């Protein structure tokens, strides 16, 4: 384990706490992007921006399809859609092919904010590329590494790896 003299406690705990460190980084990104969205006068919660963009691109979708596309859990998606509905960005509509099934669609306000969000994301993509380049040396390589880690875990999840390796 590395010396903790010049680092915070969690960093000193090593790779076993990478999820903690990634969560802190993610929370920081979300908080700072949330501030920027508020400056743009957007009411979209930063963790729901992908949902708004998906609905803007593909039109009405059910919560299961949205969750599957964005790789979120269904319960989390239902909560997010409820918040977006309370904010007046999304409304519930019936499925034309099955009226028992409920779908989410952008409201007029949601479409307006989605258009602003798309332009905002052009700027945000440039800023995040700069941040990732500064932090890792190469934004594309960093993002590829994240994808590779996810694929690796898909092939062999951590519990499987823990059971496969026995300490001597």
Q: Which domain holds residue 15?
A: 1-39
Question: Is 168 a domain residue?
Answer: no
For the chain, the domain total comes to 2
pLDDT digits (tens, 9 = 90+) for 95-144: 777 767 889 999 999 999 999 999 999 999 999 999 999 999 999 999 99
Question: Is 140 a domain residue?
Answer: yes
Q: Under a CB-based contact definition with an 8 Å cutoff, are residues 38 and 87 in contact? A: no
- Pair (21, 59) in one structural domain: no
Question: Is 46 a domain residue?
Answer: yes
pLDDT digits (tens, 9 = 90+) for 52-96: 999 999 999 999 999 999 999 999 999 999 999 999 999 998 877
Question: Is 118 a domain residue?
Answer: yes
Q: How far apart are CA 90 and CA 121, in angstroms?
A: 20
Q: Under a CB-based contact definition with an 8 Å cutoff, are residues 102 and 95 in contact? A: yes
pLDDT at position 3 is 52
Question: Is 68 a domain residue?
Answer: yes
Q: How far apart are CA 18 and CA 1, in angstroms?
A: 13
- Pair (111, 73) in one structural domain: yes
- Pair (92, 145) in one structural domain: yes
pLDDT digits (tens, 9 = 90+) for 4-42: 456 789 999 999 999 999 999 999 999 999 999 999 999
Question: Is 8 a domain residue?
Answer: yes
Question: Is 164 a domain residue?
Answer: no
- Pair (83, 67) in one structural domain: yes
- Pair (6, 80) in one structural domain: no
- Pair (86, 120) in one structural domain: yes
Question: Is 165 a domain residue?
Answer: no
| Residues making up the chain, counted from first to last | 168
Helix 49-58 vs helix 108-136: crossing angle, to nearest 10: 120
- Pair (105, 123) in one structural domain: yes
């Amino acid at each position: 384990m590395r010396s903790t003299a010049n680092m915070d406690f969690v960093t000193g705990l090593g790779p076993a706490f990478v999820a903690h460190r990634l969560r802190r980084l993610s929370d920081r990104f979300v908080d700072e992007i949330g501030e920027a969205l508020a400056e743009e006068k957007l009411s979209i919660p930063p963790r729901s921006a992908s949902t708004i963009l998906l609905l803007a691109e593909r039109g009405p979708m059910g919560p299961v399809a949205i969750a599957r596309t964005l790789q979120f859990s269904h319960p989390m998606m239902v909560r997010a859609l409820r918040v977006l509905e309370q904010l007046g960005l999304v409304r519930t509509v019936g499925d034309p092919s099955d009226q028992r099934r409920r779908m989410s669609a952008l409201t007029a306000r949601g479409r307006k904010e989605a258009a602003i969000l798309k332009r905002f994301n052009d700027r945000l993509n440039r800023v995040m590329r700069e941040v990732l380049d500064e932090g890792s040396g190469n934004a594309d390589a960093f993002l590829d590494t994240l994808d590779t880690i996810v694929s690796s875990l898909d092939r062999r999840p951590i519990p499987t790896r823990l059971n496969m390796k026995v300490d001597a």
